[in-house]
Amino acid sequence: MGVTPKIAPSMLSSDFANLASEANRMLDFGADWLHMDIMDGHFVPNLTIGAPVIESLRKHTKAYLDCHLMVTNPIDYVEPLGKAGASGFTFHVEVSKENWQELIQRIKSKGMRPGVALKPGTAIEEVYPLVDSENPVEMVLVMTVEPGFGGQKFMPEMMDKVRVLRKMYPSLDIEVDGGLGPSTIEMAASAGANCIVAGSSVFGAPEPAAVISLMRKSVLENQEKC
Ligand code: DX5
Ligand code: ZN
């Protein structure tokens, strides 16, 4: 399989008042990416950060900023996030049915990597056209909780989506987000996920580095089995 593990602590669980030091702490602990949850209080019932915070953080780190857009109008965020220094731009398929081609094209033109996310209630078939397109997304994010809040329970039934995707696309980045940690990583990794978002299990651990390395090991071991 041509995919590598990416462990992405969700900064939603960090101390936002000390974002730069929290980010660098996670990178020192072995994080590959930093997952940035951008919520507009409309697509989800929570409000977090936007481009100004990404811009501030970018001054303190060169890390890959994996931005997850839980917003109703993702296209409005492409230009500001590109300027701010975002690396990945993952939009939700539920709000992009009419304009995903334009979205992908604009995201790439701003030097970011496009990804598509789907909520638990959305069928996996919805993302196929975006992966099969001539100008495709480069990652699919399978939500394993209802988007909006950290600390929720992992939904194992979402692993069917991951399995189907991995079978169809052996070298696609497949990300899972919500409720991942030492007790659920095996389910996700054995289904074929390689990008692992984890908030509360990493930030709440006495030794975050141990949790990060355990999750990486699980992804690697499962890839060897393929
Ligand atoms: C939820 C966010 C997640 C969240 C994950 O809407 O997309 O990234 O921070 O948090 P945990 O790992 O605590 O479920
Ligand atoms: Zn997220």
Distance 206 CA to ligand 1 centre (A): 19
- Cα–Cα nearest to 126, from 135, 113, 136, 117: 117
Which CA distances in Å does 195 have to 55, 84, 183, 223? 24, 23, 16, 12
Establish whether 32 is an annotated binding residue.
Answer: no
Give the burial string for 193-210 (b: 16+ CB within 10 Å, else e): bbbbbbbbbbbebeebee
Which protein residue has the closest C-alpha to ligand 1 atom 9? 150
Angle, helices 100-109/75-84, rounded to nearest 10 degrees: 10
- Cα–Cα nearest to 35, from 60, 68, 58: 68
Residue matched to tokens 């890839």: 223
Tokens of 157: 């039934």
The ligand 1 site (C-beta within 6 Å) comprises 10, 12-13, 35, 37, 68, 145, 147-152, 177-180, 197-201
Can you spell out the DSSP letters for 104-162? HHHHHHTT-EEEEEE-TTS-GGGGHHHHHSSS--SEEEEESS-TT-SSPPP-GGGHHHH
Distance 121 CA to ligand 1 centre (A): 17
Q: What is the mean pLDDT of each run of 10 residues along the chain (226 residues)?
A: 90 98 98 98 98 98 99 98 99 98 98 99 98 98 98 98 98 98 98 98 98 98 88
Tokens of 12: 């939603």
Distance CA 64, CA 26 (A): 12
pLDDT number for residue 18: 98
Asked if 39 contacts 1 with a C-beta cutoff of 8 angstroms, the reply is: no
Which CA distances in Å does 69 have to 20, 28, 204? 20, 26, 24
pLDDT number for residue 225: 84
Distance CA 57, CA 178 (A): 23
Asked if 214 contacts 9 with a C-beta cutoff of 8 angstroms, the reply is: no
Establish whether 199 is an annotated binding residue.
Answer: yes
pLDDT number for residue 193: 98
In three-state secondary structure terms, 197 is strand
Distance 17 CA to ligand 2 centre (A): 19
Shortest-distance atom of ligand 1 to CA 154: 14
Which active-site residues does the annotation give? 37, 177
Q: Which residue from 143, 145, 155, 212 has its CB within 8 A of the most atoms of ligand 1, so it is best to mutate?
A: 145
Q: Which residue from 143, 200, 212, 215 has its CB within 8 A of the most atoms of ligand 1, so it is best to mutate?
A: 200
Distance 18 CA to ligand 2 centre (A): 19
Domains of the chain are 6-224 (3.20.20.70)
pLDDT number for residue 2: 72
Cα torsion 226, 217, 4, 6: sign:
positive
Tokens of 144: 């394993």
